[in-house]
Chain A
Amino acid sequence: MNPNEKNRVVRFTAIQRLFHGLLIVSFLIQGSTGLARMYIETGWGKGLAWVFGGYEGSLAVHKYVGILLVSGFVVHLMYLLFKVNWRKFPGALFEPDSLVPHLRDIKEFFQHVGWFMGIGKAPRFDRWGYWEKFDYWAVFWGIPVLGATGLILAYSLASSRIMPGWFLNVAFWIHRIEAMLAMVHIFIIHFFIAHLRRHNFPMDRAMFEGSSHIDSLRHEKPAWVARLEQTGKLDRMLVAEARPGRRLFYYLFGYAALLFGTFLLIGGLVNSRYITW
């Protein structure tokens, strides 16, 4: 096999991969510092907190990284303003290259579920599958909710000037449930779809390397590849595979995130009966 053969289609730009990388790191730090405090009554929680300097240290890290995460989200919103094709606005938002949800996503969801159950053929996905769109937009719900409640709790004296102090009790539970929803979704559903299902096993490198193998895309995103071939754009989007050293780094990074997430998930579930909720 020729290592310089251009057989991979570009899916993500360097800045998009950087956004995802920063999100992975900050999400795992937020998850572990948050769980460290939540589980501080258990040995598992104490061990986790020790890494960040104990119960108080975990909170300090949680606050700083939380502000970084919210700032990153704001930068991403600004980035989106530059990415939107304003000349074709709003029509461009509903083209197949856009991540904006479309009625065909609902159709494809049911068609896909039908295929799981052996009824009918798999849908011919274009550039974005409905599960990818869901994961992308989930962040637009999760970060504002976690960020707003987190800031309310972090600056409780200031926030209680503009809202009643008892709202801190409410904000605490919104933050906690939303964080658990996000972690369980990422550590089970996202990890399984991106790493462990047969099509992607051992790992879908697209988000790290920026490209996917053409054969893989012909199978999973046939409508996209066909569209690129029809419009003659495919050749310009083909790139060669990354060097082995880089590939090794992608696998190590991806699997470190997967293993750490699984550690948080299992530790959280096992110790959940020993904490004061």
Chain B
Amino acid sequence: MSTRHDRWSVLPAAVLMVGLLLLPTGLPAQEEVASAIRRYRDREVSTGFYEEYEAKPLRQRPLISIPGVRPGPFPYSPVAARVRIRTRLADSHQGIKFYKDLRCQDCHIKETRDIHTVRGNLTCRQCHGGEPIASLEHYYSPFNPIRRHAYVCAKCHEGSSASFATYVVHAPNPAMATTRKTFPVLFYVFWGMIALAGGTFVVFLPHTVMWGFRELFMKKDEAEGESERKE
């Protein structure tokens, strides 16, 4: 049989239990945000598990194979394997002689001629970070397509997605024959648009010039009714 004292001792426990129900539910991902830049997850629309659930970006797939090794009957040649290992190094510039005396543009000239660098005035370091600069395809590189959007693009383009990050910052010249292999859609669309513009001018520029000359040397009786001068 419970005493009056026992009944009152239950009350704080009951208040605590009801109070807990009123509190917002805890989240395992609650973490301290130290960065001044808003975290991309606030605006991220995807699950973040790109390999498993998302439609993969069309031009770049997450690179999680063994560097320089292609399983199957046609393995990479030694040179191809070396190139592929090179694009997955923790320090992409390792082994380059007198590296500390070089500037980025000494080797990467083309990469300094695009909108982000020329017009946006971005420096290489603002995206690629300090030394050592990991190869783009190194698993832990900020540039690996699995996290490029969050670690690089989102610095300026808040809320960028994996798809957004497939924008080619160092885009090739669309007119060049080599672009047909590296970025075929850009190459064909560019030349298609040039053909459209060229076709318009091939017809209408000579047409306009001929019309101008024909009217200029028109006989007076033929020119009867010249509009505004007669008024």
Contacts and interface: CB of A to CB of B under 8 A. Distances in A.
Contacts of B224: 215, 219
Contact of A241 (B167, B197, B214, B231): B231
A276 B170 CA distance: 12
A270 interface: no
Interface in B116-175: 118-119, 157, 159-161, 163-168, 171, 173-174
A193 B207 CA distance: 10
A197 B212 CA distance: 5
Interface in B59-117: 59, 113-115
A138 to B, nearest CB: 8
Contacts, number: 150
A216 B119 contact: no
A161 interface: yes
A276 B173 CA distance: 10
Nearest to B149: A165
A255 to B, nearest CB: 13
B42 interface: no
A217 B230 CA distance: 12
Contact of B211 (A163, A193, A217, A241): A193
B228 A160 contact: no
A134 B166 CA distance: 38
B159 A164 contact: no
Given A157-B164, A160-B161, A177 B218 contact: no
Contacts of B159: 157
B200 A173 contact: no
Contact of A161 (B45, B118, B214): B45
Contacts of A165: 57, 161, 163-167
Interface residues of A, number: 57
Contact of A173 (B45, B167, B193, B229): B193
B128 to A, nearest CB: 19
Interface string A28-52: 0000000001001100000000000
A161 B159 CA distance: 11
A128 interface: no
Interface string A153-173: 000110011011111111001
B200 A185 contact: yes
A216 B205 CA distance: 24
B163 A180 contact: no
A197 B215 contact: yes
Contacts of B214: 115-116
A159 to B, nearest CB: 9
B196 interface: yes
Interface in A197-214: 197-205, 212-213
B59 A166 contact: yes
A41 B115 CA distance: 11
B47 interface: no
B116 to A, nearest CB: 11
Contacts of A203: 228
A7 B230 CA distance: 11
Contacts of B45: 161
Contacts of A199: 215, 223, 226-227
B124 to A, nearest CB: 16
Contacts of A180: 197
Contact of A160 (B164, B194, B218): B164
A164 B163 contact: yes
Given A164-B163, A169-B186, A184-B201, A178 B193 contact: yes
A196 interface: yes
10 nearest interchain CB pairs?
A: A219-B225, A216-B227, A160-B164, A116-B210, A215-B225, A177-B193, A165-B166, A198-B215, A181-B197, A165-B167
Interface of B: 45, 57-59, 113-115, 118-119, 157, 159-161, 163-168, 171, 173-174, 183, 185-186, 189-190, 193-194, 196-197, 200-201, 204-205, 207-208, 210-216, 218, 223-231
12 contacts: A116-B214, A160-B161, A177-B194, A181-B196, A181-B197, A196-B212, A198-B215, A198-B223, A204-B227, A216-B227, A219-B223, A220-B225
Interface of A: 1, 7, 37, 40-41, 55, 112-113, 115-117, 134, 156-157, 160-161, 163-170, 173-174, 177-178, 180-181, 184-185, 188-189, 192-193, 196-205, 212-213, 215-220, 241, 276-277
